[in-house]
Structure 1
Amino acid sequence: MKQRQEMSEREYFAFIGRRPGMFVGKASFHMAAAFLAGYEGHAGRHGGPSLLTGLDEWLVAHRGRDCNHGWPGQILHIALPHGWENMWDLPPADEQRAITVLFELLDAFLAEREATACVRRPE
């Protein structure tokens, strides 16, 4: 019998990022962010690893500017440097750009965290 291979967190979120509408109903930045927050909440409640711990600080360092927004607002600032009129009703091109940047930044954050964890592991 063939064993099932599990996806890493990075693989799982890359998979979701390719087709977010399959997971959240409507492919929207806010629905994708809510999905990630729900995933984080479930992991915390059930003793799983934290996905988003440190993401706020990482985004501030990545952006080079302090910001009082949580990670969703910071990602919108990075994805849409020209700003927006109504963050809850983004034009389709901005919506798609924000979703793409969300999953790109999440992958970069998780990759950096994995690399740091590998360096710190005692042999």
Structure 2
Amino acid sequence: MKQLSEISEREYFACVGRRPGMFVGRTSFHLLTAFLTGYDQHAVRHGGHGLAGWHEWLVARRGRECSHAWPGQVLHIALPDGWDNISDLPPEDEKQAIKVLFQLLDDFTAEREATQGSQVTG
């Protein structure tokens, strides 16, 4: 089994997505976005990429801008009919939002890995 320091961000996020409760206690979209924001801040503080470009990528993926930070962008994609309270989503919306969050993170990190790989080899 690999150590955390030996896995890519993509692998790490997949690990969190498979067992989110292990990372945040009660599994909720709100808690997971807070966890990921903390992850981002720590990475940037220590010289990593964190989630640099994530908000812009989500806006491009959605095809339009709005005043929401990245968690709201994810919810627009996951719940196109809207939501009332990000910290108290109905169970079915919560499940959908979390599923889409980790699908989007996987797509984002896969694209970033491919771009970084082509810059190294190119």
**Within 5 A, what are the aligned runs for 1:26-41?**
26-41=26-41
TM-score (norm 2): 0.90
Q: Compute the displacement of 1:51 (Å).
A: 2.0
Structure 2 partner of 1:44: 44
RMSD over aligned Cα, in angstroms? 1.8
Distance (Å, rounded) in 1 between the aligned partners of 2:76 and 2:37: 19
Q: Could you tell me how far 1:118 is from its partner in structure 2? A: 1.4
In 1, Cα distance between the equivalents of 2:34 and 2:52? 16
Structure 2 unmatched ranges of 5 or more: none
State the SS of the aligned residue for 1:68: coil
Partner of 2:70: 71
Identity in percent: 63
Structure with bigger helix share is 2
Change in CA separation of 1:27 and 1:67 when aligned onto 2, cut-off 3 Å: same
Deviation at 1:55, TM superposition (A): 0.7
Q: CA deviation at 1:122?
A: 4.4
| 1:110 aligned partner | 109
TM-score, L = length of structure 1:
0.90
- May I ask how many residue pairs the two structures share in their alignment? 121
Q: CA deviation at 1:46?
A: 2.4
2:79 is matched with which residue? 80
Report the more deviating stretch, 9-18 or 84-93: 84-93
Counterpart mapping for 1:2-21 below 5 A = 6-21=6-21
CA distance in structure 1 between the aligned counterparts of 2:114 and 2:78, rounded to whole angstroms: 25
CA offsets, 1:31-90, max 9 Å, x none? 11111111111122223x122110111111101111221111100110000111222210
Segment of structure 1 superposing worse, 79-88 or 8-17: 79-88
Aligned partner letter, 2:35: F
Measured against aligned partners, the alpha-carbon deviations of 1:97-117 in whole angstroms (never above 9, x if no partner) come to: 111111110110010011111
Q: Which has the larger radius of gyration?
A: 1
The amino acid across from 1:84 in the alignment is W
- SS of 2:87's equivalent in the other structure is coil
